[in-house]
Every structure is written in C-alpha cells, then in structure tokens.
Amino acid sequence: MQAVKFGRCGFLIYKLSQATRCSSRSQPGRGQTASISAGLRRMTTASSQPVVIRIPRPMQEHIENVKQMQSKKFDRLPTVKPGRLLIKSKNPQLNQSVGYTLGKFEQPVLTSKGWKSNKTLGDYFSINSVQSAPPFMLKEKDKGNDTASTTTKTFNCFHICPELVETLHSQNIIHPTTVQMQTIPKILKGRNILCAAETGSGKTLAYLLPIIHRLQEEPFTDSERNIRAVIVVPSRELAEQVTSVARSISQCFGIVVKVAGGGRGVGNIKAAFTHGQPDVLVTTPGALLKALQKRFISLSQLNFLVIDEADTMFDVSFAGLLEDIFSHTQVASRLSETVGLDHKAQLVVVGATFPGGVGEVLSKVTDLASMVTVKSRMLHHLMPHVKQMFLRIKGADKILELHQALKKAELEDKGVLVFCNSASTVNWLGYSLEEMGVRHLRLQGEMPATMREGIFRNFQRGSVDVLICTDIASRGLDTQRVGLIVNYDFPETHTDYIHRAGRVGRAGGSGGGEVLSFVTHLWDVERVQRIETAARRRTSLPGMESEIQKPSNTTDVKEIEKNK
C-alpha cells in the first residue's frame, strides 16, 4: 500500500498496486493495520481500482506534524520572538524568548542536549532574569489569592504589638512577603504549621514575629524564666544568625534569647545556661540533646518548637537526633492543647525544600490533621529574578574561568560564594587561589569548631569578598552582600542547586544576582538538562514536588482562607 497524496476535502488516497505488499507479516505487531489491509485486499480484488479512504482533516494535520517533528531535517519551530531572551545559548538558534511558551507536548530543544560529548566543551547557555523583584515581594494579580496586595500591606495588618512593627521599620522592613502574609496569622492562631517557601523569602521573621509577639504577652520575671521557644537549625552559623534576628526584635520586651551550638564540648553548652534559662533558645540538634541529657535545661514549659531548614533536619543524617528531640517534647495535636497550665508546644516546620518522609516522622509526634501546610507558588522553581549561567568546561580550565569571574566580581564590588562538593576541594582551591593572590575565606564542615567560629560573620561584615565553602553555607545563611554564586563543583542534587542559588536575590536585597555553574562531569549533565528543561517550560524542578505532600491533610493556603 502506498500513500499517494492528500486529496482535497480531507481525503487520503492510497494506491494499492499489489495486495501482497500489505501483508501483516512485513509489519509485525500492527494487528489493526493487518485487518484493514485484509479488507482492502478483498476490495481491490473485487474492483482493481484505487481505494479512497476518508481521513478527517485534523488527523491528517496531526500526522503531518508528527512526521515533521520526527524528521531529522525538520525546520525547528522558532523559539525566538521579538523582545527579551529567557534562554541565551552559544548557538543562537537555541535561544528562547521570554514571550515564547512551549506547547504541552512540545519537546524543548536543549543547549545541553549533547553535553555528554567532549565536542561540546566550551558550550554555554544562560537562563536570564526576567523580572527585577523577587516573586515573593510582588503584588499578586490574582484577586482570589490571599497574597493579593502584599506590597501595599504593612506588618500592622497582623495586629502584632506596635513595638515589633517599629523595630521592623527601623530595619527598613515595611511590607510583609507572601510567606509572611500566609504564615504569621496561622502561628498567631496557635496552629501547627509546615511552611514551604522559596529561599530568601523571609521565613525567619515569618515564625519569629508571631512567636515573640505571643511571648511578650506573658512576661516572666528572671526567677520564673523558662525556655518557652526552641528553634532548631542545622549549623552553628545559622544558629548565630537566627539568634541575632531574634534578639534584634525582642530586646525591647526583655525577652532573653540564647544560642547553644555543638562542636565545642559540653562545658561550652553548660556555660550558656549558667546565668539562668532563656525565653528563646536557638540551637543545633546535637547541642540541644546534650543540654537535655545533662539536664541543663527542661522543655516542660515549651510553647513553640521550630524546626528550620527542614530538608537538612529531616535528612537521615539528622533524623535520629530529631526523633530524640521530639521524645523530650510534648507537641500539641489540637488548638485546645496549646493553652492552660499543662499546655503542649506548637510545632513549626520550615524549609525551602522538603525531603521525603517528613510526614512519617511528624505523624509520630502529632496528629497530622492538626498541621496546616503553607506552600508558596514558586516553590522549587528557578528564581525568575536571578540570572543563571551554565558553562560546559574541562576540569583543568575551571580555576582560570573562576579567576576571571572573581576579577569581574571585584570590579563590580560583589561578594562571591564559591561552592565545592567536598572539604578537600575547598582546601585545595583555597591554596590555589592564594597563590594567585586572591583574598578569600574558607568554610567547610571538617574544620575544628574554633577555626570555623566567626568565619561567616567576617564574610558577612565584608572583611573579605570571597568565601569558598561546602554546602554548609548553602542552608539558611543570609547573604545580602553576595552578588555572585559560583558552583565550582556542580551540586549533587536539585535541592542543593536551589539552596545554593538561593543565596542571591533575597528579600530586602538590592537585586537579583547571578549564578555561574561549571559543568565538568558526565554525571552532572542530566541534572543540567533537567534544570534547562524546567527553565524552558517554566515549571518546578522535577523530583521535588511530591516531597512535601506527605502530611495527609496538605491543604493549600487558598483553600484554608476560603474556609475560614
């Protein structure tokens, strides 16, 4: 059977010269075609005339489209339209405009498609920033969304005490971010909450403000002071940062905030409590457990338990410690349990990404039905206000390329974070840059605690512009002065990519910032391809979405608001 042409009015004309050509034996597995062929054979034998089969026009067009897409020589649909570019490639034919939307079934043609071949060394593409302000600071157009008019609202809308609002004003924090709009009222109401929102969107204040407001409503004298809020974070640096934010907003109420980090011995942890108990304790899991086991503290009066940076805290490396911490606390399962003399603690779990199994752990400590989930619209998306560049490069060339990037950043007066995947690479790279005369600091988890102390603070203060680090600096640390992130080693997971990239373009910052990633190893290429696909499709990064669906009652914010 041979297709001759499409006739007018949606006819497809087939010439059946030899009935035997239609044999199903020559086309195994095409049972339907075989039975049609058999029918046609009977018809041709009867009339010996060409047979005309009606094929609807839409189906014809579909067949043509598929043929065109499958053909190697097909002319690609132009992805460039007038206006700004979303994807800029070394090969301009692979550029994609901001105004171009990929069809649902359209496969994006990726710049990184052939990056497993050494022939592509030197290739690059960038995902350009398409807006100047972060999405969590923007006014929502959707009127049905409770984040509408975020930028016009102030912190007064939460009816928190005026001193708190004044303190925020003095720090130039005037309008709540979207996650603050969603989270603060729920914590004030006494709900257990799981809050998942983009990096840098102001999650720290989203939980600290309602907690400090509630604590100042019930002041304590020094003799009766007891720990009423515990905030658990994965690193000492982050514990210090959260402590400093908590102190800045609570000192006018006489609320005592203390920090206890691990790695410096039990004596150091004990010293934190020698002059009495704090109202708020910011701590790492190991230090908290030691303080509990040695009975330096008691959590019998606890009102709030916050687990920040959930993806790290619920990771297998911390999960055991976390379960031990939960065994020392009483978490409320309903609103009524959060008040009264023998009250239980409200649980707040916060993160920009969530690993699997969160729901499983939480179900052991509270009724999952009591947990409200706040999930931001752009969660797990590439940040649209941050320019992200990917460079396919030989391992040996990375250091020169990095040197160039650092020189450019110096001229532009930007702070730079250089991420490596291991402590040994941090050290090696540090020595190499030292020889090149580049002033920098190093931060990695294998450093002794005494050496590590103060490094990040010094970097934040601007004593040096370059920090070479492992992923311990990618979680939670506020890096307003950083304008460039370099992934010297490509991150091992999408989660790490999101957290590293999230060190720029933060709320209250001056701009979007840039991320430069070196792609050296073949095993990195698939991750780059998934990132490029997500950018071209404007979807979230794959493999992360299901991870916060665990609590069975996951409720979208809009739904909660509707039902209020």
Ligand X SMILES: Nc1ncnc2c1ncn2[C@@H]1O[C@H](COP(=O)(O)OP(=O)(O)OP(=O)(O)O)[C@@H](O)[C@H]1O
Report how far residue 364's alpha carbon sits from residue 387's, in angstroms, rounded to the nearest whole number: 42
Report how far residue 537's alpha carbon sits from residue 50's, in angstroms, rounded to the nearest whole number: 46
Unique residue bearing structure tokens 């009066």: 301
- Least distance between ligand X and beta carbon 506 (Å): 4
**Closest alpha carbon to 384 in 543, 556, 539:** 539
- Least distance between ligand X and beta carbon 136 (Å): 8
DSSP result, 241-255: HHHHHHHHHHGGGT-
- Least distance between ligand X and beta carbon 336 (Å): 30
Cβ proximity to ligand X, 291 vs 507, nearer residue: 507
- Least distance between ligand X and beta carbon 161 (Å): 17
| 180 in Cβ contact with 205 (< 8 Å) | yes
Cβ proximity to ligand X, 445 vs 508, nearer residue: 508
Report how far residue 563's alpha carbon sits from residue 543's, in angstroms, rounded to the nearest whole number: 31
Q: Residue 334 is encoded by which pair of tokens?
A: 């309903």
- Least distance between ligand X and beta carbon 322 (Å): 18
Q: Residue 23 is encoded by which pair of tokens?
A: 């044999």
Cβ proximity to ligand X, 331 vs 352, nearer residue: 352
- Least distance between ligand X and beta carbon 276 (Å): 28
Q: Which neighbouring-strand residues pair with 88?
A: 126
- Least distance between ligand X and beta carbon 221 (Å): 31
Report how far residue 277's alpha carbon sits from residue 238's, in angstroms, rounded to the nearest whole number: 21
Report how far residue 393's alpha carbon sits from residue 254's, in angstroms, rounded to the nearest whole number: 55
| 152 in Cβ contact with 113 (< 8 Å) | no
| 178 in Cβ contact with 150 (< 8 Å) | yes
Report how far residue 391's alpha carbon sits from residue 361's, in angstroms, rounded to the nearest whole number: 40
How many helices (H) and strands (E) are present in the chain, helices listed first?
A: 18, 19
| 295 backbone φψ class: left, alpha, beta (φ>0; ψ -120 to 50) | left
Name the residue number minimizing CB distance to ligand X: 508
**Closest alpha carbon to 390 in 504, 543, 537, 526:** 526
Unique residue bearing structure tokens 């450093």: 447
Cβ proximity to ligand X, 115 vs 314, nearer residue: 314
Cβ proximity to ligand X, 199 vs 370, nearer residue: 199
Instruction: Point out which residues bind ligand X (CB under 6 A).
Output: 173, 175-177, 180, 199-205, 352, 476, 478, 480, 502, 506-508
Cβ proximity to ligand X, 171 vs 553, nearer residue: 171
Cβ proximity to ligand X, 44 vs 204, nearer residue: 204
- Least distance between ligand X and beta carbon 177 (Å): 5
- Least distance between ligand X and beta carbon 553 (Å): 24
| 284 in Cβ contact with 236 (< 8 Å) | yes
Query: Which of helix, strand or coil describes residue 308?
Result: coil
- Least distance between ligand X and beta carbon 551 (Å): 20
Give long-range contacts, CB 8 A cutoff, 24+ apart: 434-438: 436/403, 438/403, 438/406, 438/466
Q: Residue 342 is encoded by which pair of tokens?
A: 């023998």
DSSP designation for 387 = E
Q: Which residues of 488-521 are buried (b: 16+ CB within 10 A; e: fewer)?
A: bbbbeebbbbbbbbbbbbbbebeebbbbbbbbbe
Cβ proximity to ligand X, 85 vs 246, nearer residue: 246
| 310 in Cβ contact with 351 (< 8 Å) | yes
- Least distance between ligand X and beta carbon 237 (Å): 12
- Least distance between ligand X and beta carbon 199 (Å): 4
The gap from C-alpha 140 to its chain's centroid, in whole angstroms, comes to 20
| 83 backbone φψ class: left, alpha, beta (φ>0; ψ -120 to 50) | left
